[in-house]
Amino acid sequence: LTKQNATATATISEGFDDPAYDEPGSVWYTLGTLHGEKADNDLAIECYQKALDTPGFDKPGDAYNNMGSAYEAKAENIRAIEWYQKALDTPGYDTPHLTLNNLAYSLRQMGRLDEALEAVGRVLGEPGTEGQHLLGASQEGYALSVRRHPPDDPPGVAILPL
């Protein structure tokens, strides 16, 4: 995968030199994604920031969410939460349920379980989340479980000892 990422990074970087290519923000965003997959989170953050700084960049919510994920991978949950909130505050952001799930994970990592439950409960209020079951284990020996089957059932949320 590392060799594939290096090849993809080199190919995408060529887009910066092509005068016909008019979406450098998308190139920076894709580079950020590739560096994140390589666990080079500092470089991923730098690339996402360059995408956000590009006039006309059309995916700010996605970049904010991915910035949060990069900070979360660095165990900087406070900063991750800030970026997730920016994603959720972005007008027209089309995947808030993904960010809410990420937000819940960071909150749980910080021991803020009531807030994590609230965020996951909000996931179930988003369109397209019917029938989901989310489960994640924490280092403290607890799991966060959310269920909703069928769509008209109220969500069930619980913190369970492992």
Q: Which two tokens stand for residue 5?
A: 């990422």
Alpha-carbon distance of 104 to 72, in angstroms, equals 11
- Give pLDDT, residue 84: 97
Q: What is the pLDDT of residues 51-97, one digit of tens each?
A: 999 998 999 999 999 999 999 999 999 999 999 999 999 999 988 98
Q: pTM for this structure?
A: 0.70
Give dist(CA 23, CA 58) in Å, integer: 9
Long-range contacts: 102-105, Cβ < 8 Å, 24+?
102/65, 102/68, 102/69, 102/72, 103/68, 104/144, 105/72, 105/136
